[in-house]
Every structure is written in C-alpha cells, then in structure tokens.
Structure 1
Amino acid sequence: MTRILLCGCFGKMGRVITQLVADRPDCEITAGVDLQCDPNAAFPTYTDIYAVQETVDVIIDFSHPSLLSPILGYAAQNGGIPVVLCTTGYSSEQVEALKAAAETQPIFYSRNMSLGINLLIELSKKAAKVLGDQFDIEIIEKHHNQKIDAPSGTALMLADAISSVREGETQYMYDRHAQRKKREKNEIGLHAVRGGTIVGEHEVIFAGNHEVITLSHSAQSKELFAVGAVNAAVFMCGKAPGLYDMSAMI
C-alpha cells in the first residue's frame, strides 16, 4: 500500500485525486497540505508541510510553484521521499533547482500527466524530423478561463521536444502581433486561448507548401491527469535518486 502525501489537496485536481485514490486498493492518502485545514477531511490536513506527522511513501504535488522549495526540503529532510511534481508554471530557476534535487532524491517531473499528450509529443518529434525546415510549426493551446500561466506547460513541452530534433537554434514566438516582419524559418509560434471550462486542448500545426499536417489532443476530463499522477506515485515508491518522467513509466 503506497501512502501518499497530497499537496494542494483541496484544489480542483486535489479533489479529483482524492476521489480516485478512494477507489484504488494499491494506495491511500495519508495526509494533505493546503492553504486551510479541514477537520472533516478523510485524512489529516495541514497548512505547513513541515507540520505533517504521518509517515508517507511519496508526495504528489498539484499546488502552486511557490511551494516547490518547501516540498523538496521536506522530502530531503525525511530520508529522500519520492516527489511527483505535477504543478505547472515553474520558473527556469525552479526547474534547475528540481533537477539539482534529483541528484540526491527521486523526482518525477512532468508538465502533463496524460499518456495521450506524451504520445503527441513523440509524434510531433517524429514529424519534425521528417518534415525538416520545409514546414512552419505553430502550437495552439486552449484552457479554461481560470488558468493563470500562458502558454501552458504542455505547449512548452511540445515546443522543447520539437526543438530538440531540429537543426540550429529555435526561436519561440509568443507575441506575433508586435512583429512587423515575415515569419522566420527557425520560429515556433505559441498561442494561448483562455475561455469557459475547456479542460485542455493542444494542436501542433505543420504548414508547408500547399499542405498542412495537424496533430492534436483534447482532454475531456481532469481525471486523466489524476490517473497519471497516481500511477506515477505508485511507480515512484522505493525508486533510487534521479529525475523521472512519463517516458520512464511507460
């Protein structure tokens, strides 16, 4: 039985994970951390991760980027508890910090926990290799009107993956309306749409001469991200120090 400490337990994703874990026989939520405690919760809750008293096997984080440092610190202080980081919006400095932490403790980091999205990433890399610089690449992402960061972490994952297989330096173009010039070959355009209750849609457009290839993924429910996070938590239990992601799990 994998004992989980859930950070962001009363957020949207935290509540979905709580419901999901309740129906699984291989894991349980031993404690939770959020801005407020709830005496009626199904498990003990805390506002400070360092106040957690229960023994846990792994931490799932769906909270806020500002909590990265205390989460990593608590995990290290308690014998290198594996951490599954699902929060988006980390700064480049924070990403470097979690990579450094992975040298001494097991860290699972993915900006999207969906198996389908990770397949989309691999397909986009393959397309970029085959099509080369003869096709312009644009990425469009759509999310609900409550999402704060833009572009989404997943859109950046897609852009980074495509860049890794292209020759030369790639330039990300976020604000094309401010540019009064023709599109450069080395650009990847990233566009964010925010509205309604869209769970998450990502589209990669390869536009060539007289033909367009489009790869897309549409999330219908937040549950798919919760399933990925819980599966990652069970997978990470007992793992050696290192940086893990979806490719390691699948």
Structure 2
Amino acid sequence: MRTADQPIRISLFAPNGRMGKAIAMAVADDPGFEIDQNHGDVLVDFSAPDALQDSLDRAISAGIPILVGTTGLDENADERIAEAAKQVAVLRAPNTSLGIAVLAQLVETAAQLLGPEWDIEIAETHHRMKADAPSGTAWLLAQAAACGRGTDIDAEAGRAGTGLKRKPGAIGFASLRGGTVAGEHDVMFLGEKERIVLSHRAENRLIFARGALAGARFLVGRPVGLYSMRDVTGAL
C-alpha cells in the first residue's frame, strides 16, 4: 500500500497518445508522481471513445480510481461512467485545465445573472487532427451556461454556418479546425448593444497534463463516486 511520502503512481491507458506523452513529460518534472503501468494508484484515460469500457473495466478490476479525459463519447457513456462510479472513484474531465474549470464557473454565474434575454455563442478552435466537434470543452461550457439559466443545449441550431435561426434560449456552437492549435474557447454573451466575452487560451498541451496530475492527486483516497474538475479546484 502506498504511503503519504511516496510518489503517486500513474498508469496511462493510452501512453503513446498525445496526452499520454504530455502527462509522462509532466511526471518527469514532478517528484510527487511516477509512471507505473502495472501497479498504478490512479488510471488516466485519454484514449478513444470506443475504448471507454475497457478503461473502466481495468480500473474496476484493479480497484483504483480513474480519470476519464476522453471526449467525443457516445450517448451510452454517461450510463457506463455512472455505473463505474458505483465501484470506484471516477473523475470525468473533458478538459483538465484548471483555467477551464474556473471559466466554467464564471460562465454559469454570468448566465444566471444575465438571463435568457442574452444570446450565448461558444466558439472553439483546435488542431486539424481533432475528431470531435463541438469539442468536449465546448459542451462542458454550454452545460455550465445551461445550468446557470435553466435552458437546453440546442446542438442542431448551434452548428456554425448552418444558417439556422436560433431558438429562444438556445446555445450556439462554432467549431474551427486547423494547424496545431492546442485549444481556444470563447463564450460570448450577446445582449442589446453590448456583449461579454469570456475566453481561455491553451498555449501548450502541458497545461492539460498538469491539470490531469492535479486530478490524479485529488482522486487518491477519494471515496467511490463521480467527480468533476470543479471538485478538484474546490479542493486546491
């Protein structure tokens, strides 16, 4: 059993992926962690949607918590993650940036204060290889806005360039892909003759890796249940 003065052992479900390599780099610079693929204290999954069940099964079999950072998950993912969270601690984090976690709270507050009279548009830009759109982070921010003012997320009316008229209270999305952009998100609140823009810019993939390590540290010793990055920032 791990003692408090020993490094937290990270098992990477997809060690050769972009985020797997970034997390390994972050671990190399942090003596509080080490990579141990066979005897991890926490399993970290930034893989592909179709690998979700395998990663959850691995965490349950080993009896260790899991951080799920994979985006683009299918409609059954919520149920699978909820079931796993009855057996191990699960941190679901579409974006592990601590800045994004704070941004989501700001978006929720702004949506609550401004009300449905203000339109909400979320614009996100990522590298050309990103498969899902809108991004998982864009959905996270939309959910925060919807929570703030009690509206539904209208994805169909939210696609960029569709020309669809927004339904009252709908949240729109615009997704751009190109180059090597790590991640840019703008949440725009548009009112009569004024607008508020809340933004986040990821300048390097290592910010997600460091956030994942913060999430892993949070999970160690945590009771069974489902957690978010808001829980992580609240514990800092």
> TM-score when scaled to structure 1?
0.86
Flag the 1:203–1:24 CA change in 2: closer, same or farther, 3 A. Answer: same
State the shift of 1:168 in Å.
4.8
Flag the 1:190–1:18 CA change in 2: closer, same or farther, 3 A. Answer: same
Superposed CA deviations along residues 132-184 of structure 1, whole A, max 9, x for unmatched, are 1221111000001010100000000011111112245452323364455x432
Identical counterparts, % of pairs = 41
State the shift of 1:200 in Å.
0.3
Rounded Cα–Cα distance in structure 1 between residues aligned with 2:55 and 2:110: 37
Q: Is the 8 A contact 2:160 2:175 kept in 1?
A: no
Q: Highest CA radius of gyration, 1 or 2?
A: 1
**Pairing partner for 1:87 from 70, 77, 81:** 70
State the shift of 1:27 in Å.
1.4
Rounded Cα–Cα distance in structure 2 between residues aligned with 1:169 and 1:147: 25
Q: How does 1:176-191 map to 2 (within 5 A)?
A: 177-179=161-163, 182-191=165-174
Alignment of 1:6 onto 2:12: yes
**Which amino acid is 1:189 matched to?**
G
Flag the 1:219–1:168 CA change in 2: closer, same or farther, 3 A. Answer: closer
Q: How does 1:47-196 map to 2 (within 5 A)?
A: 54-78=38-62, 80-172=63-155, 173-175=157-159, 177-179=161-163, 182-196=165-179
Matched pairs, number: 226
Superposed CA deviations along residues 82-105 of structure 1, whole A, max 9, x for unmatched, are 101111111121122101210121
Q: Which runs of 5+ in 2 are unaligned?
A: 1-6
What is the SS of the residue equivalent to 1:146? coil
What is the SS of the residue equivalent to 1:92? coil
Residue 230 of structure 2 corresponds to 247
Rounded Cα–Cα distance in structure 2 between residues aligned with 1:5 and 1:176: 38
> TM-score when scaled to structure 2?
0.91
Residue 22 of structure 1 corresponds to 28
What is the SS of the residue equivalent to 2:35? strand
